[in-house]
Amino acid sequence: MDRVDIIREYARKEARGIEIGPYFAPLVPKAQGWNVLSLDVVDAPTLRNRAAGDPNIPRDAISRIEDVDLLGPADHLKDLVDARQELGKIDFIVSSHNFEHIPNPIGFLTACSEVLRPGGVLSMAIPDKRTCFDYFRPVTTLAAMLEAHVENRERPTAAQLFEMNSLHSRYHTPAGDTIVFSLTDDPIQVVAMQTVEEANAAWKARIARGPDDGTYEDCHCWIFTPASLRLLLLDLRFLGYIELEPIKFYDTSGNEFYIHLRNTHDTPASNLSRSDYYEERQTLLHTVNRESAANAAGMPSLSDHEVLRQQISRLEYESAALRQSTSWRITAPLRLLAAKLRVRRTQ
């Protein structure tokens, strides 16, 4: 199956669905008879004007931008659907490269459970950090997601924007730089942009403006690999934050991977015992580390000469620090006496 078939796997034309942020490339287009609602933060005329001003978007793609039925952010999905009196009546939700942008992802997942009928499916395509400009950014932690949920965030934080700008990377090719690549590409060609000073200046400006200045700056708030997202979803489900259980995963293809989650709201969910949870969690924790290690496997190893040079440099640094220490000066007489004894012993 290609990516479109995978994302549509649990969708049907005659069923009621929602597509999150389709922009100029809808996966379940109304123009082809799909019975869906389109959600975006701006209306269709604004999207078309934006696309017309973007030279990277093909001109014929502008005509594929469909009318927006649900106008607002994805984490307000429940209220937007409730206003149409369709809460709990949606069969499927599809989302491609949106989840990582949502400031409060737990809020979004909770809203999906309220919007979907029991047994309805949320299907998502997610960028793998190992194959895009997020290459050097650390994967998202459970603590970070919980904090965003408690704060009910509605925009990226200054810290998230700083991290994106200071660690943004490119893949060098003979034809030029690109922001996406594959797991089989040479990782040595992934280079972080030299933008730390600019990121720091922007950080300071955002802090000075304060949190309520009304400015919305988009970014990848959350960073995933397949196993890291599976781990987060497992934790959130076990702790009772979400009522969505995984039914199918597709590993990374190109620069993305795919997940399908079934709504268990008001339906008997498959039981996850404490022992089963911790066993699966332990496996996923190791898998996250293996994913990272496998991605770096193509990096050239250090030569013996380079290893020796680094060891000498480290020893020189440690020796200098030791000579400056109080303990070094205090023990100087003892070391001098020991040296004299060693010399006398060899005579």
Domain extent at residue 260? 3-152+221-295
The two three-digit tokens of residue 249, written as one number: 């995963």
| Confidence (pLDDT) at 29 | 96
CA-closest candidate to residue 189, choices 203, 207, 175: 175
**By C-alpha distance, which of 227, 228, 236 is closest to 277?**
236
pLDDT at 123: 98
Number of separate domains in the chain: 2
The model's pTM is: 0.83
Residue type, 300: P
Beta bridge pairs of residue 262: 121, 245
Among 254, 276, 295, identify where a domain stops.
295
In this prediction, residue 309 carries a pLDDT of 54
Residue 231 shares a structural domain with residue 137: yes
Predicted pLDDT at 149:
97
In order of 40, 316, 337, 342, the CA distances from 345 in angstroms are 85, 29, 12, 5
- Residue ranges in the chain whose pLDDT is less than 70: 268-270, 295-347
> Is residue 331 included in any domain, yes or no?
yes
pLDDT at site 310 = 47
Judged by phi (left if over 0) then psi (alpha if -120 to 50, else beta), residue 266 lies in: left
Q: What is the pLDDT of residue 100?
A: 98
In a domain, 183, yes or no: no
Question: Quick check: is 179 in a domain?
Answer: no
Give the pLDDT of residue 347.
45
The pLDDT value recorded for residue 302 is 44
Tell me whether residue 62 is in a domain. Answer: yes
In the chain, the amino acid numbered 6 is I
Question: Which of 255, 273, 295 is at the close of a domain?
Answer: 295
**pLDDT of res. 316:** 52
Scan for tokens 């190992």, then name that residue.
Answer: 130
Is 11 in the same domain as 114? yes
Considering the domain architecture, whether residues 250 and 322 belong to the same structural domain is answered as no
Residues 16 and 92 in one domain: yes
**Residue 210 within any structural domain of the chain:** no
Residue 132 sits in the same domain as residue 80: yes
Task: Provide the CATH number for the domain around residue 139.
Answer: 3.40.50.150
Q: Is residue 165 part of a domain?
A: no
189 part of a folded domain? no
Residue 211: predicted pLDDT:
72
Structure tokens at 46: 């604004």
Question: Is 312 found in the same domain as 229?
Answer: no
Is residue 160 situated within a structural domain? no
